[in-house]
A and B are shown apart, each in its own frame.
Chain A
Amino acid sequence: MAFREYRIGCWMFGFALSLSMFVTIILPGLDISSMSSTKIALEKQLTYGWETGFNYYDPFLQGKDKPVKVVLTKDPMTGKAIDKTDAFVFPAGTHFPSGLTHDGILGDDVQKASEELGKIGQADEAQGGVFLVRSTADDVPYIEFATATKGWTADATLKAADEKLLAGSGKTMFVREGCWWCHTLLPEQTQDWQSFGRPPLVGDFNGESPTTFGSDRKAPDLLHVGSRNSSREWMVMHFFNPRLVQPHSIMPRYDYLWGDVDADGNAVDLPGWDEKYLAYARGESIYPPAVPMPAADSEARKLIDFVINLK
């Protein structure tokens, strides 16, 4: 670097690049980080847990280390009837979302309400527990640690649940199977209100990782799909072979997510099913073969739970 002009050039280069990073990383980072969580963000964090992409606790993306969302109509502690309530059960050892372990994710008001009213300070990952999403009288959403406030333990809540949604593990399937290469989770601010529902707000994402917006929409947006279509039977047929319910669909078949046995304990015979389906396609039978119901612990069930839960 024998030339003075290169020394000046290097300084200019460093200055320009630093300025660019200041404007494009530091300033937006400060601005975005100052946004308070919405109720949706709290629900998403409690549904999806700590991290859905590759991580130390679930390196092969099998849907481990995830909470369970349950629907309650009776109090798990007393057995008394209560209003229909969504609760988020973290079995002992399940890692908490960033909002519960780091300050500055929830936003000041939400954090304060969650600590004072919701007692989230008493929650411990090793013990697990049950969380609810509530709103204050001023409409500030907050997280309530029901194990501390109501005495609801994880086991009792799972036992008392009317319905269990493995939507957290399902999001792992959504990421691993690349659903987001074609289905966006981002109704656009300009256009999509009628077809795909309300676009997300700035605070809807706090604590969620990855956000899996998707960028190339080769298929319908799914952010509110559970509100448009909540039929589990339709979902089962559609995931098994999309052409059964939508002849023009170009979606791949996800029949391999059924695993080895179906809900009735019968072996899932994919080649055998294909043979009968081809016979149907040739017009040799009137009805397509029946689609096996996925087993309760199958990956198909988890993915369907995730999709149905997208309200």
Chain B
Amino acid sequence: MLKYLFSKEDDIPQGTAAIFFGISSIAWFVIGTGLGSFNAAKLAFPDLFHGLYSLQFGHMRQVHVHAVIFGWIAMAFAASMMYITPALGNTKLWSEKLGVWNCLLYNVGLCLALALLWSGVTSGREYSDHIWPIDLYIAFVMVVPWSLNVWMTIVNRRTQGIYTTNWFFAGCMFMTIIVFLIGNTPEWLHLTGLNEAYMTWWFAHNILGLLITPVAAAITYYIVPKITGNPLYSHRVGHLHFWSIVVFYSTPAAHHLMSSPLPEWLKSFASVEGVLILVPAVAYVCNILLTMQGRWALFVENIEIKFTITGVLLAIPLNMQGGFQQTRAINWYIHGTGWIVAHAHLALLGFSTFAEAASVYYGMQVLLRRKLWSASLANFHFWMLLIGFSLYWTSMTISGLIQGAAKIYEVPYVDVVIAEHPYMIVRWLGGTMVFFGNIIWLYNMIMTARAGDPVPVGRQPAEIAYTR
């Protein structure tokens, strides 16, 4: 990597930035899920790591969250954008050199940001935990150069139209910068009170709704037609998806604070808009699943499609939960319980991660021009992720329902802790399976780069997946 930092633009091979982002994202995935497993262990057995005072739960919890969001998910997005955007524009990435620098400074900034959170230096606001100097760094050193590369590649495209995936990439990067700058106004302007609380959740909701879910969806809009060879089922449904994301997904932030004393009109408005999230959700899921027509065998045969479609199928329960759990009829029961934790992992570890894993698997093979070193290990990774996630989701949903019932019947809290104990153990096991699966993935990817069979020019890695 270092040798390309000071190379001339023309001397840097195409795809270099994407490869570096891809490898970084897998490494951060291993770190992030490892931390998750470590934290979960402490929730099951609080004295298990007693004495490791530097790794207290209250300090490590947000390090796990930000390692997976900024390390794994965002970097996998960067990797995907840096090879998919030029491919769809029939052109080169605007600047590989900027991309390589971006990747380096991204990793440096993330290490710094996590180290500060680890030591307890925090803004005290969930999801915007980073202190404002780090926020500035994230916005202008990590995200703006990345966005610039995406936008300029689209501007310099050699195709007439812009494909669905690229609308999402360009639009979402723009919205992310806006959300990041406005969502941190409590820190820029020292907002206080309910304004601070509301803006905290405005940020948390929109960073998820305008970056993580739509970009993950955009990636599947590329991967599924590319590997199946089917054209996207409907360009117009894609339009519906895009515009309803912008209009509906950017508005329900207050539904995260349904039990707080926010103005009632705001909570009602947010709740209605929250149900309307089902519009982009249903449009998207239908569009992708109908694109699979006639090629469903690939769901079994092809590792990228297996990951992608699993992610899309997980988006169905995700959006049904998301649309309805925030209505007053349901929210009073499950608010603040493990149900929400399960839902958050369904979004990030379920839908989003499966889509990105497919994109990173595919991108690394295409860019390295090497076939996956071991298809068996990739399948093993898939099942570890799916089973681990399912254990996690099921146990946390059940424990959330226990908490909800206990909340209503005013059960003494310690009885809830006792009742949740077995589910905390299962959660830990599930998270640990995901962690081990990811170690296997990292190993498989390193072996692919070193010893994978070369993919002949003009062939797709998926076509020769089973040839020896």
Give A residues with C-beta under 8 Å from B: 1-3, 6, 12-13, 16-17, 20-21, 23-25, 27-29, 31-33, 35, 41, 51-54, 59-61, 98, 105, 175-181, 184, 186, 188-192, 194-195, 199-202, 204-220, 242-243, 246, 248-253, 256, 271, 274
Chain B 261-290 near chain A by CB (<8 Å), digits 1 or 0 = 111011001000000000000000000000
* Contact count band on B: 35 or more
A54 touches B131 (CB 8 A): yes
Q: How far is the CA of A114 from the CA of B444 in the complex (A)?
A: 68
Known: A215-B340, A246-B414, A274-B51. A105 touches B192 (CB 8 A): yes
The yes or no answer to B251 lying at the interface (CB within 8 A) is: yes
A208–B193 alpha-carbon span in the complex (Å): 5
Q: Which residues of B contact A178 (CB under 8 A)?
A: 56-59, 61-62, 120
Q: What number of A-B contacts does a CB cutoff of 8 Å give?
A: 210
Question: Secondary structure of the B side of the interface?
Answer: helix
- Asked whether, in the complex, the Cβ of B261 is within 8 Å of the Cβ of A253, the reply is no
Q: Which residues of A contact B251 (CB under 8 A)?
A: 20, 23-24
Task: Give the contact stretch, choosing among B40-48, B350-358, B429-437.
Answer: B40-48
A33 touches B43 (CB 8 A): no
User: A-side binding surface: helix, strand, loop or mixed?
Assistant: loop
28 residue pairs A–B, Cβ–Cβ below 8 Å: A12-B243, A17-B178, A20-B247, A23-B269, A24-B202, A24-B251, A28-B263, A31-B266, A32-B195, A32-B262, A53-B123, A54-B124, A60-B119, A60-B121, A105-B192, A178-B61, A188-B332, A188-B336, A192-B407, A210-B196, A216-B336, A219-B413, A243-B46, A243-B47, A249-B46, A250-B417, A252-B46, A252-B58
CB atoms of B123 and A210 under 8 A apart: yes
Check B454 for interface membership: any CB of A closer than 8 A.
Answer: no
Residues of B contacting A29 in the complex (Cβ-Cβ under 8 angstroms):
195
Please indicate the chain A residues that have their CB under 8 angstroms from the CB of B253 in the complex.
24
Of the candidates B61, B200, B408, the one whose C-beta lies within 8 Å of that of A191 is B408
Q: Are B261 and A248 in contact (CB under 8 A)?
A: no
B9 within 8 A of A: no
Chain A residues, CB < 8 A from B42:
250, 252
Complex Cα–Cα for A3 and B341 (A): 44
Whether B92 sits at the interface, judged by CB under 8 Å, is no
| A85 to B: closest C-beta gap in Å | 26
Q: How far is the CA of A29 from the CA of B196 in the complex (A)?
A: 10
CB pair B122 A191 closer than 8 Å: no
Which of B42, B120, B132, B160 counts the most chain A CB atoms within 10 A? B120
* B197 interface neighbour in A2, A177, A211, A218, Cβ under 8 Å: A211
Q: Tell me if A59 and B194 are in contact (CB < 8 A).
A: no
Chain A's closest residue to B46 (CB) is A250
Given contacts A178-B57, A184-B336, A214-B336, 15 further A-B contacts (CB under 8 A): A17-B250, A24-B253, A31-B263, A52-B124, A54-B121, A54-B124, A98-B192, A178-B59, A181-B57, A181-B62, A202-B263, A206-B192, A218-B43, A249-B46, A252-B58
Q: Do residues B46 and A251 form an inter-chain contact, with CB atoms below 8 A?
A: yes
Chain B residues with CB below 8 A from A53, complex form: 122-125, 131, 187
- Distance between Cα atoms of A258 and B199 in the complex (Å): 35
Least distance between A218 CB and chain B CB atoms (Å): 7
**Bound-state Cα–Cα, A164 to B36, Å:** 40
Q: Which of B47, B51, B246, B259 contacts A17 (CB 8 A)?
A: B246
Verify A179–B262 contact, CB threshold 8 A: no
Complex: how many Å from CA A296 to CA B137? 39
Q: What chain A residues lie within 8 Å of B247 (beta carbons)? A: 16, 20
Q: Give the 4 A-B CB pairs with smallest separation, nearest first.
A: A178-B58, A53-B124, A188-B259, A210-B124
Interface pair A202/B194, CB less than 8 Å apart: yes
Asked if residues A217 and B337 are in contact (CB atoms below 8 Å), the reply is: yes
Partner of B122, one of A6, A27, A61: A61
Known: A24-B253, A176-B122, A178-B59. A17 touches B193 (CB 8 A): no
Residues of chain B lying within 8 A (CB to CB) of residue A13: 171, 246
In the complex, the answer to whether B260 meets A248 with C-beta atoms within 8 Å is no
